[in-house]
């Protein structure tokens, strides 16, 4: 494709879609036009990819979330046409960076689970594996976050408002989803291309949008009942309106359940219809051609639904169960009991009356086997899918699939020895580990081109982009002053870029010469954003007490959204913003330390934050974080980890060395022991300076606008401290102070970051997907 051809294509697309010249369009319109022009390059390759996988065994990733981020740069880089397109746009007088910023982040996910799904799709296509995704086309992202007087305020995220060039509607594959005999909707598919690096394979993410079967009631409209005339369409569209509706109400719970059934039923129907269209007369070979991965329990309804659909095709229950079990595998993402989905039986039956009998039948089959295996009846509560008026989705997912995997070594061990230990004893080979990974294409090649260029020069080739283990060879340069100086210069350049971005978006001046200490992730108590905030409060108090002390310049950066109904998490956000205001307006300290809570943290913001970080905050209570993937992105970009021995931190330390990171706090066995006899007030009083910080929540130092939020936060800590913020604080403060001291010798400090980067190879999602493909999915590359 020549520059002239691309210009003509872009101009043609502008006239076709907007009826005017490309130069007359605004930036969002120009982005869409360029995207449409690129899609003309993508589609033929996409069709060819589908052809080469035809009639081969394929893997299907079912997930409620796919946190894709922006696609323009990612697609151009993976297609290998980024330089060509950027050069052409420059010739046309178009600012590519502005065009890139005009793309809205795809509102299809929220946290690590969704970003992992996106990385897996990238790796699957890059490695030429037949891996497709199935999810929901949410009309709105989870929400846009703004801070008003320090409080999180949510508003709609209409990411599809201006259209999206990467989505292709496919009406021919519309499916009907039946919640009950009287409640049915259409599932309309929209396909998104997943471009592998090199452009040889383009896989598909199929997203379902809910629509009414009868979209408009003409008679009601004719009778003047205008709202009633579109009521069915409004109710149907609500199903795919927004990710994770607030489930603190019964209606919210019903909507979540409907969402989960909606996309799993539509996806399975899709697979079965295509299977039959290939000429199969029965379903004997279904499991030989389909490997279905359930990403957490959100898609677990696929288990009884596949059995139901197979029975409709004349397959008797035992055979349908066998096909289902051989086709499906389940990824567990949590060690938190409250996050293991349990649906109220009455609510389930009211929403899905046609599906419930199949859940009962699966449970009855399990009971028969428990009797056959002579499991003591006193232990049945560790297994039963239906018990205490609840339906346990994790138990069903373990029982009716052929493989269950954890997402980090310590997480999988805890599943086996604690969370689902009874199941492990029953099926000792079923639970396996697949440590999470990230795609280096987005999180290094695209987001940190300066560091990528240096790596390529040092290694002498660009093979690391698909073989991240090659980074290990960089260790040979760890004592090369010239290399380290260049590494430090690149880090400083990324910090300057971030500082400029934060100044523009958050209106806070931060110093690129300071330590950039960053904690970006979902806001949850176990992730302990509060402990980092308490350290800042304690540091502030110490600085005020010793204004002439030799303090290291530091910038503390938070990014996180709290679920709208998560009251305590929103209280923590308010507290951090109050703390930031106090620190940033105090002339005695604000030249030394700054605090920033970035608004509306998402993938695009993350692409600026990870490369600029000096310190990665991974401080969850040991035994609570399944894996984490943010820790890997920081490591890949040359940050050191301050963290507990939790999740993938354990493996990061194994790869890069404990001496090159900052490990603190209780380990899992110590947490278990401490929980038996823990007094949080004693922990607070025995730690110098901590009581003053905690009391500041309620002594008038900070204000929560008379909401009572801070008092509730204070009571939670002093009465329970479920996640041991107060117990681990002293150990955390010790390593944080050590970081401040170590930073004085920048060469030595950044050498640790360089060694971390050089040892990040294990954490590529390419390695993870390769393990899934070989050990669980049994699918082959098709080059």
Buried residues in 405-443 as b, exposed as e (16+ CB within 10 A) = bbbbbbbbebbbeebbebbbebeeebbbbbbbbbbbbbb
- Polymer length of the chain: 783
**Would you say the C-alpha torsion 682, 685, 687, 690 has a positive or negative sign?**
positive
| Two tokens, residue 633 | 């992105």
> Would residue 312 show up in a list of annotated catalytic residues for this protein?
no
Q: How many CB atoms lie within 10 A of CB 254?
A: 18
Q: Which residues of 513-532 are buried (b: 16+ CB within 10 A; e: fewer)?
A: ebbbbbbbbbbbbbbbbbbb
User: From CA 430, how far away is CA 425, in angstroms rounded?
Assistant: 10
**The tokens of 458 are what?**
């040092």
Q: In Å, how far are 111, 403, 441, 447, 751 from 498, measured between CA atoms?
A: 22, 42, 20, 12, 22
624's tokens: 């609570």
Six token digits for residue 391: 């339906």
Of 254, 554, 608, 633, which is the active-site residue?
Answer: 633
Residue of 522, 594, 751, 767 marked catalytic: 522
How many Cβ atoms from other residues are within 10 Å of residue 699's Cβ?
11
SS (H, E, C) 245-302: CCCCCHHHHHHHHHHHHHHHHHHHHHHHHHHHHCCCCCCCCHHHHEEEEEECCCCCCH
Q: List the beta bridge partners of residue 594.
A: 555
Cα 82 to its chain centre, rounded Å, is 26
Q: Are 583 and 536 in contact (CB under 8 A)?
A: yes
| Known catalytic membership, residue 521 | yes
Catalytic residue among 439, 629, 687, 718: 629
Annotated catalytic residue: which of 298, 416, 521, 733?
Answer: 521
Catalytic residue among 144, 333, 494, 608: 333
Tokens encoding 226: 């205008």
How far apart CA 287 and CA 272 sit, in angstroms, is 11
Catalytic residue among 175, 527, 751, 762: 527
**In degrees rounded to 5, what are phi and psi of residue 362?**
-65, -45
Q: Three-class SS string for 96-160? A: HHHHHHCCCCCCCCCCHHHHHHHHHHHHHHHCCCCEEEEEECCCECCCEEEEECCEEEEECCCCC
Q: CB-based contacts of 585: which residues, under 8 Å, 6+ apart?
A: none
Please give the structure tokens belonging to residue 546: 């010793």
Catalytic-residue membership of 524:
no
Q: How far apart are CA 716 and CA 568, in angstroms?
A: 9
Cβ of 453: how many Cβ atoms within 10 Å? 13
Burial grade of 501 (CB within 10 A; 0-12, 13-18, 19 or more) = middle
Cβ partners under 8 Å of residue 280, min gap 6: 286
613: Cα separation from own chain's centroid: 19
Mark whether 201 is an active-site residue. no
- Cβ contact 689:670 at 8 Å: no
Instruction: Confirm whether 333 is a catalytic residue.
Output: yes
- Residue 22: C-alpha distances to residues 37, 274, 405, 635 (Å): 12, 40, 49, 41
Tokens in use for 683?
């922990």
Rounded to 10 degrees, the C-alpha dihedral 299/301/304/307 comes to -40
Cα(54)–Cα(432) distance, rounded to whole angstroms? Answer: 30
Residue 527 has phi, psi (to 5 degrees) of -80, -15
Active site residue 555: no
User: Where is 176: in which H helix or E strand?
Assistant: strand 175-180
Strands (E), 388-457: 390-392, 404-406, 431-433
The residues assigned a catalytic role are 333, 521-522, 527, 629, 633
């Amino acid at each position: 494709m020549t520059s002239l051809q691309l210009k003509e294509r872009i101009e043609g697309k502008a006239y076709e879609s907007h009826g005017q010249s490309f130069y007359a369009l605004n930036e969002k319109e120009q982005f869409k036009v360029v995207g449409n022009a690129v899609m003309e390059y993508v589609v033929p390759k996409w069709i060819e990819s589908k052809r080469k996988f035809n009639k081969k065994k394929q893997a299907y990733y079912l997930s409620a979330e796919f946190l894709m981020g922006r696609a323009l740069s990612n697609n151009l880089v993976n297609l290998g046409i980024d330089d060509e397109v950027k050069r052409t746009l420059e010739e046309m007088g178009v600012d590519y960076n502005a065009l890139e910023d005009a793309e809205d982040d795809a509102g299809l996910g929220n946290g690590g689970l969704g970003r992992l799904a996106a990385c897996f799709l990238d790796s699957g296509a890059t490695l030429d594996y037949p891996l497709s995704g199935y999810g929901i086309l949410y009309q709105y992202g989870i929400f846009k976050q703004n801070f008003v007087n320090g409080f999180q305020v949510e508003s709609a995220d209409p990411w599809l408002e201006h259209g999206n060039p990467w989505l292709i509607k496919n009406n021919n594959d519309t499916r009907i989803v039946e919640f009950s005999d009287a409640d049915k909707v259409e599932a309309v598919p929209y396909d998104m291309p997943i471009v592998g690096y090199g452009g040889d394979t383009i896989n598909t993410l199929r997203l379902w949008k809910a629509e009414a079967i009868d979209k408009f009631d003409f008679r009601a409209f004719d009778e003047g009942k205008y709202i009633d005339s579109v009521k069915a369409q409004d109710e149907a569209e609500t199903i795919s309106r927004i990710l994770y509706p607030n489930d603190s109400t019964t209606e919210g719970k019903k909507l979540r359940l409907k969402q989960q059934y909606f996309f799993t039923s539509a996806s399975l129907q899709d697979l079965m219809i295509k299977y039959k269209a290939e000429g199969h007369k029965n379903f004997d070979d279904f499991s030989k051609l389909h490997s279905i991965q359930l990403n957490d329990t959100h898609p677990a309804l696929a288990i009884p639904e596949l059995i139901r659909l197979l029975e409709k095709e004349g397959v008797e229950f035992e055979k349908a169960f066998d096909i289902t079990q051989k086709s499906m595998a389940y990824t567990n993402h949590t060690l938190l009991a409250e996050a293991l989905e349990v649906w109220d039986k009455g609510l389930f039956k009211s929403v899905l009356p046609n599906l419930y009998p199949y859940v009962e039948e699966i449970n009855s089959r399990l009971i028969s086997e428990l009797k056959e295996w002579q499991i003591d009846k006193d232990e049945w509560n560790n297994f039963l899918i239906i018990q205490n008026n609840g339906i346990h989705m994790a138990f069903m997912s373990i029982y009716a699939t052929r493989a269950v995997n954890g997402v980090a070594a310590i997480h999988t061990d805890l599943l086996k020895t604690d969370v689902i230990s009874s199941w492990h004893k029953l099926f000792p080979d079923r639970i396996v580990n697949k440590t999470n990974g990230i795609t280096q294409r987005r999180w290094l090649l695209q987001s940190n081109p300066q560091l990528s260029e240096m790596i390529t020069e040092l290694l002498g080739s660009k093979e690391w982009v698909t073989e991240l283990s090659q980074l290990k060879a960089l260790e040979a340069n760890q004592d090369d002053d010239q290399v380290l100086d260049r590494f430090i210069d690149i880090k400083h350049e990324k910090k300057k870029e971030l500082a400029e971005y934060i100044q523009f978006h958050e209106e806070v001046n931060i110093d690129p010469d300071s330590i950039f200490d960053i904690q970006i992730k979902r806001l949850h108590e176990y992730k302990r954003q509060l402990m980092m905030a308490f350290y800042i409060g304690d540091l502030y108090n110490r600085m005020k007490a010793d204004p002439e002390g030799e303090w290291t310049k530091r910038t503390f950066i938070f990014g996180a959204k709290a679920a709208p109904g998560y009251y305590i998490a929103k209280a923590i956000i308010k507290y951090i913003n109050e703390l930031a205001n106090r620190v940033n307006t105090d002339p005695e300290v604000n030249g030394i330390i700054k605090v920033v809570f970035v608004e509306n943290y998402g993938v695009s913001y993350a692409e600026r934050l990870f490369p600029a970080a000096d310190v990665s905050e991974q401080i969850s209570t040991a035994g609570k974080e399944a894996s984490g993937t943010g820790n890997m992105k920081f490591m890949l970009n040359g940050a050191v980890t301050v963290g507990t021995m939790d999740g993938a931190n354990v493996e990061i330390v194994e790869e890069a060395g404990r001496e090159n990171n900052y490990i603190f706090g209780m380990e899992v066995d110590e947490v278990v022991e401490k929980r038996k006899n823990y007094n949080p007030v004693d922990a607070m009083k025995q730690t110098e300076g901590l009581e003053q910080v905690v009391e500041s929540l309620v002594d008038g130092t900070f204000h929560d606008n008379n909401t009572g939020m801070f008092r509730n936060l204070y009571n939670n800590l002093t009465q329970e401290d479920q996640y041991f913020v107060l117990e681990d604080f002293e150990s955390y403060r010790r390593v944080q102070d050590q970081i401040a001291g170590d930073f004085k010798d920048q060469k030595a400090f950044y050498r640790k970051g360089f060694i971390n980067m050089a040892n990040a190879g294990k954490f590529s999602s390419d390695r993870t997907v390769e393990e899934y493909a070989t050990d669980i999915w049994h699918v082959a590359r098709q080059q």
